[in-house]
A and B are shown apart, each in its own frame.
Chain A
Amino acid sequence: EAQVTQNPRYLITVTGKKLTVTCSQNMNHEYMSWYRQDPGLGLRQIYYSMNVEVTDKGDVPEGYKVSRKEKRNFPLILESPSPNQTSLYFCASRLAGSHEQYFGPGTRLTVT
């Protein structure tokens, strides 16, 4: 089954404790993105990648890092999480030349 997977689905952590949210897609898509969803704000792009070793900032990149060492994986790294990063995070992927993005199931992160 074609899908985007994320782990973990739920995470509660404390301020300053480094964490990684994994994202993997099995559709051989070139493009991958991370979004955060906050009430009343919709989804906002954090980082994106156009292919292996090609990443760039989206609209709200502060406090986040990403890497794209393999085509299928695009982990989101929070080096020192803060409470304002409490949010629902979605990974998405897209085939080059296509307009349709496929979204993962989301990761709900709480930083206390």
Chain B
Amino acid sequence: AQSVAQPEDQVNVAEGNPLTVKCTYSVSGNPYLFWYVQYPNRGLQFLLKYITGDNLVKGSYGFEAEFNKSQTSFHLKKPSALVSDSALYFCAVRGLYNQGGKLIFGQGTELSVKP
């Protein structure tokens, strides 16, 4: 079965420092991986995806993610955090069967960036 784990409930970073939000996955077959961000009282917004190709994927708002097949990880990174990056981040993998493009989400990681 497809599954995603985000081992940290919360990540705290000082503004200007690099940030990493961790994600590991378990899939049958090739993984289709995604990162979404949720700001307070808002829906989820797409950040980036890995389908195939380069292991380093660049996305919105300066975020990037590194796909590591041997470690089954897809960590989200940003070189210099902003206070406005504070939000809830979800890693997701596409379900094994189509099911309307079902996404299987991790439990989420709360990112807090302090000035």
Interface residues of A (CB under 8 A from B): 4, 31-33, 40-45, 48-50, 56, 58-59, 90, 92, 94, 99-106
Contacts and interface: CB of A to CB of B under 8 A. Distances in A.
A106 B43 contact: yes
Contacts of B108: 42
Contacts, number: 68
Contacts of A41: 107
A45 B105 CA distance: 10
Contacts of B41: 105-106
26 contacts: A31-B101, A41-B107, A42-B106, A42-B107, A43-B44, A43-B90, A43-B105, A45-B100, A45-B102, A49-B100, A58-B102, A59-B102, A90-B43, A90-B44, A94-B101, A99-B34, A99-B51, A99-B94, A99-B101, A100-B49, A101-B101, A101-B103, A103-B43, A103-B45, A106-B41, A106-B42
Contacts of A100: 46, 49
A101 B44 CA distance: 9
A99 B107 contact: no
A43 B100 CA distance: 15
B101 A105 contact: no
Contacts of B102: 33, 45, 48, 58-59
B3 to A, nearest CB: 10
B66 to A, nearest CB: 18
B94 to A, nearest CB: 7
Contacts of B100: 31-33, 45, 48-50, 56, 58, 94
Interface string B64-82: 0000000000000000000
B99 interface: yes
B36 to A, nearest CB: 8
Closest 6 CB pairs of A and B: A48-B100, A42-B105, A103-B43, A103-B44, A43-B105, A31-B100
A59 B41 CA distance: 25
B107 A45 contact: no
Contacts of A32: 100
A102 B34 CA distance: 13
